[in-house]
Structure 1
Amino acid sequence: KNRNSVAYAGQKPWLLNATVEENITFGSPFNKQRYKAVTDACSLQPDIDLLPFGDQTEIGERGINLSGGQRQRICVARALYQNTNVVFLDDPFSALDIHLSDHLMQEGIMKFLRDDKRTVVLVTHKLQYLPHADWIIAMKEGFILRDGTLKDIQNNDTELYEHWKTLMNRQDQELEKDTDADQATMERKTLRRAMYSREAKAALEDEGEEEEEEEDEEEEMAMAMRQRTKMPWRTCWRYLTSGGFFFLFLMIFSKLLKHSVIVAIDYWLVKWTSENRNISRDSNELNSTDQNRTYYVVGFSILSASGILLCLITSLTVEWMGLTAARNLHSNLLNKIILAPIRFFDTTPLGLILNRFSADTNIIDQHIPPTMESLSRSTLLCLSAIGVISYVNYYFLIALIPLGVAFHLIQKYFRVTSKELQELDDNTQLPLLCHFSETAEGLTTIRAFRHESRFKQRMLELTDTNNLAYLFLSAANRWLEVRTVRRDSQIVALTATKESKVSLL
């Protein structure tokens, strides 16, 4: 053993989001004989038999699938399993009943640790275990009240010893009173655990049920794929209405008006240039050139000023609407979390809650408003351009059909892939947040075992995995950009070729 090695089990159980075996071994090499001795000493074998996959069952973050006593015993088993020189046990009997406490004391501390020749520092309120201590330190309100062996305290502080003796007799009477009932309860629990264990194993070995489960999984996967290919219109409407109906109406109206002004500016410039071309051909109308120029300059200035003002109004409306929606959605989420029952926090991983308040809230705050503004601007520009071009040359509608089919196929292919990559990014981010939260929560235990480097390395691995998923998502976005720009270039090339042929004719 390392002279400076320490094992620690805190009063508040701390477990990893891993299997039972990984929580007990905690990075140490697996020794079957030692593992079996530890689980027997901590009375964990009946509980392990109850789990569907034994000690390979994932117990969830903070041991949400286990009771308080089971979590406590797994933490104690982790301290016992480590091959350390000193073991610190901070009130390990707090979540255990009388019989489990006595079994842990006799088999775990008095037998296993003593045979292993390890120093044990035990913090407890169970005074019936004082005769087993080599040295006693009595504390009160953070100060040492008395220290020494039990015989020393009996000789030097009779009042304290008599007080302890009274409490020990009371605890012994409670132990004798509950012995028969507790033993019967333990036997029923053990029998029920064995029955549940056999039923779980039989269910796992039943091939018919496995086939049904596979069919259900395939149906769920198919439904999930259908949901990914569909647009979540209800969610979009919920976001838009969260910003307020007034801002929604103002945004739609200002955008329509802004793009109408943009089209009007283009029309005004075309009319202005056509008028100048006609004037240059007719020498008799040169006297009216100054009047026409003033007319068109004033009109163009008014339209440009109106466009600038509407652009400002539109941008402010979108940002204010996004801010209002983000504030309302965050307030609703916070109220739901605060008013949630305690069972919700016991069964929900903390990383999932942090992901909602960090990554998802960041998307609502910073990504959705500019994306919505860009989408609406591009859509209106595209529709206005199609309308103007079709008005000038209706043959463009014939070429619009294959172009529309091509863009539809590109976006359909991209949307499925993009949603998969976005889900992959979210799924790799959740373990990162979970690992960070459980590391921060169990920092005392990690430092006591001196496993800081192992958890740091795991954090870096999860960060690299999440960055890799984000890299693939960015690459998919660049893929879409390249394809759309290529189609745009083809449209421009075809238009320029047609116009050059017309001009030559």
Structure 2
Amino acid sequence: MYKHNGTVSVKGSVALVAQQAFVLNATVRNNILFGAEFNEDKYNRVVAACSLLSDFEMLPKGDKSMIGEKGINLSGGQKHRISLARAVYNDADIYLLDDPLSAVDAHVGKHIFDNVIGPSGLLREKTRIMVTHGIQWLSEADEIYIMTAGRMSEHGTYESLLQSHNGDFVKFLKERDDYIGDVEKLEKFKHKLSYRQKSTTVSVNKDKNNNETPADGSPSREGSHLVEDDEEDVYDKQEQVETGKVAWNVYLTYFKFMGLRNTLLGLLLILVSGGFSLAFSIWLSLWTGDTVFVNNSTESVKQAAVEKYLGGMSALGIGEISAVLCFTLAAAYCFCEASGNIHKALLSNILHAKSSFFDVKPLGMILNRFSKDTDVVDTGVGWSIVYLAWTTIALITSIGGILYATPFFVIAIIPIAALYLYIQRFYICTARQLRRLSSKATSPIYAHFSETLHGSG
């Protein structure tokens, strides 16, 4: 409905029970509390009025059971009753109820209306605006508004509307009477058919159970425990976080997606660039240690030596720059190739997954794989390998150049390397696990954002 003119003023808080129930991927109790403080007496009265006690007995952990993504392990009526219980527990001043009894059975609907919505229910002192097609509740309403083609055609009490014999309300009641009569005939036929099928099934199961009764005469409950345990494991299972070192097959898988030819080409180019860097350092060391500049050599000899060393350094510098440029371009191409192949494989697995996979895996975790984790693969993994290779080569060339000029430096390298490796043992473990925990913490954010959009729609 849209307001075309006039003003709308609301006094007090408002609670909405939408026609499409909104539930979170959390426990049943947390869905009802919705961040409010837990009051045991109030909570028990609300769940009893909303006819949820029998449902709690069927769940593995009662009201502490996880209900799964979008309430996957709940029926439509259970989700609607949880949504209604959340609104009732919120204790608002005004309640907007959008056909809250459409997804429940007739006897459950009567129980909820009598104990929650009706004149003697928990909301008897609240303002209740309920949209419904059920004519059985109309006589209990204080005021009835008839909507026709999106506009209010008439309003009044139940008795006053019945007096307008040609009104939309009376026409609606007549149409519903004819419809209900046809539905009742169909329901009676279905009831007879289901009763016959049930009788046959019961007789067969009775013979089967007699053969499977344990020796002590007590009925076997092992099967029911297995079902409950499976449900508990499926819907209460948290995303697992790896611990320890990253297995080598993870890196091998990345290089496999990159391609053998691309991997060998990148390795060759980085070795070439490292060779030029090492040669540059050695050439500079030779220049500084040349005796021509120390002895009383002629200016022409010194000039020739300078030109020789400058030419060599220029050639080595140009070679190193060219090798680094070629390696950077090749690395960018290889990383794009690897990222594309990984994304294709991930997308293919998701598209070919069974529907039960999406029932037990939260949507936030799947979105996290395609967003945050994919971004890490695109921009983090490949260039981290490059930085590792460059740092290693720079370290080797630097140490090689120093040892070439000062061989006694090896005495200082050994304790420095030992201290560095000792510190790395603690740093790498901590940094690696923090990255894993950070990746896991992103999944609930995506899930919450998706649930919020689902609820706002």
- TM-score of the pair, normalised by structure 2: 0.75
CA deviation after TM superposition for structure 1 residue 243, in Å: 3.3
- Equivalent position to 1:71, from 66, 79, 100: 79
Q: Which residue in 2 is equivalent to 1:471? A: none
Shift of 1:97: 3.8
Is structure 2 residue 258 aligned with structure 1 residue 247?
Answer: no
1:135 aligns with 2:138: no
Root-mean-square deviation (Å): 3.9
Aligned residues: 411
After superposition, residues 468-479 of structure 1 pair within 5 angstroms as: none
Q: Given residue 156 of structure 1, which amino acid in structure 2 is its aligned partner?
A: G
**Separation (CA, whole Å) in 2 of partners of 1:171 and 1:302:** 93
Structure showing the higher helix proportion among its residues: 1
Q: Can you list the C-alpha shifts for 1:232-263, whole angstroms capped at 9, x where unaligned?
A: 22222222333344432222111000010111
Structure 1 residue identity aligned to 2:280: I
How far the C-alpha of 1:38 sits from its partner, in A, is 2.5
Q: CA deviation at 1:374?
A: 1.1
Gaps of at least 5 residues in structure 1 are 189-194, 205-212, 214-222, 445-505
The superposition leaves residues 266-300 of structure 1 with CA deviations (integer Å, 9 ceiling, x where unpaired) of 2222233333x2354154x6544443333332222
> 1:308-387, aligned counterparts within 5 Å?
308-387=321-400
Q: Aligned runs of 1:472-491 on 2, under 5 Å?
A: none
CA distance in 1, matches of 2:13, 2:184: 36
Q: Structure 2 CA distance, aligned partners of 1:80 and 1:170?
A: 35
Distance in 1 of aligned mates of 2:53 and 2:71: 17
Structure 1, residues 366-413: CA drift from partner, whole Å, max 9, x if none?
333332221110112223344555566666666655444433322222
Residues 154 and 397 of structure 1: CA distance in aligned 2, closer, same or farther (over 3 Å): farther
* Aligned partners of 1:42 and 1:108 also within 8 Å: yes
Q: Which residue of 2 aligns with 1:421?
A: 434
Change beyond 3 A, Cα 1:16–1:279 = closer
For residues 19 and 196 of structure 1, what CA distance do their matches in structure 2 show?
A: 26
Matched, 1:90 2:69: no
Tell whether the 8 Å contact from 2:42 to 2:89 is kept in structure 1 after alignment. yes
Q: 1:366 to 1:336 in 2, by over 3 A?
A: same
Using the alignment, how far apart are the partners of 1:388 and 1:350 within structure 2? Answer: 54
Which residue of structure 1 aligns with residue 47 of structure 2? 39
**2:127 paired residue number:** 119
Unaligned stretches of 5+ residues in structure 2: 1-9, 203-219, 234-239
For 1:154 and 1:117, locate their aligned partners in 2 and report how far apart those are by CA, in whole Å. 33
Tell me the amino acid that sits aligned with residue 167 of structure 1.
Answer: Y
Note the C-alpha offset of 1:338.
Answer: 4.4
C-alpha separation in 1, matches of 2:251 and 2:289: 45
420-429 vs 173-182, which deviates more? 173-182
1:151 to 137, 162, 169: 162
Corresponding residue of 2:61: 53
Which position in structure 2 is the counterpart of 1:291?
304
Contact kept in structure 2, 1:127 and 1:167, CA below 8 Å: no
In structure 2, the CA distance between the partners of 1:393 and 1:132, relative to structure 1 (3 Å rule), is same
**What corresponds to 1:490 in structure 2?**
none
Displacement of 1:353: 2.6
Counterpart check, 1:228 vs 2:243:
yes
Cα deviation, residue 173, structure 1: 4.2
Match of 1:491 in 2: none
For 1:111-161, what per-residue CA distance to the aligned partner results, in whole angstroms no more than 9, with x for missing partners? 653762333322334455445444142444x45566554515654246544
Alpha-carbon separation, structure 1, partners of 2:408 and 2:311? 35
Question: Which of the numbers 251, 260, 278 marks the counterpart of 2:292?
Answer: 278
Say whether the 8 Å CA contact 1:355–1:430 is kept in structure 2.
yes
Q: Which segment drifts farther, 143-152 or 237-246?
A: 143-152
1:13 aligns with 2:21: yes
CA contact (8 A) 1:65 1:347 kept: no
Structure 1 residue aligned with 2:314, among 301, 306, 323? 301
Separation in structure 1 between the aligned mates of residue 400 and residue 371 of structure 2, nearest angstrom: 43
| Matched position secondary structure for 1:117 | coil
Contact 2:117 2:124 in 1 (8 A): no
Contact persistence 1:5–1:84 (CA under 8 A): yes
Between the aligned partners of 2:102 and 2:359, the Cα distance in structure 1 is 19
Q: Structure 1 residues 394 and 256 mapped into 2: Cα distance closer, same or farther (>3 Å)? A: same
CA distance in 2, matches of 1:327, 1:273: 49
- Do 1:135 and 1:147's aligned partners in 2 also have CA atoms closer than 8 Å? yes
Q: Shift of residue 302 of structure 1? A: 1.4
| Code of the aligned partner of 2:425 | K
Deviations for 1:340-373, whole angstroms, at most 9, x for unmatched residues? 4444333322322332233223322333333222
SS of equivalent to 1:317: helix
Cα distance in 1 for residues equivalent to 2:349 and 2:151: 43
Distance in 1 (CA, whole Å) between partners of 2:132 and 2:279 is 83
- Is contact 1:98-1:175 (8 Å) kept? no
Alpha-carbon displacement from aligned partner over 1:51-93 (angstroms, at most 9, x marks no partner) = 3332233434433443333222100122233323332222323
What percent of counterpart residues are identical?
Answer: 32
Structure-1 separation of matches of 2:434 and 2:87 = 41
Letter of the 2:263 counterpart: L
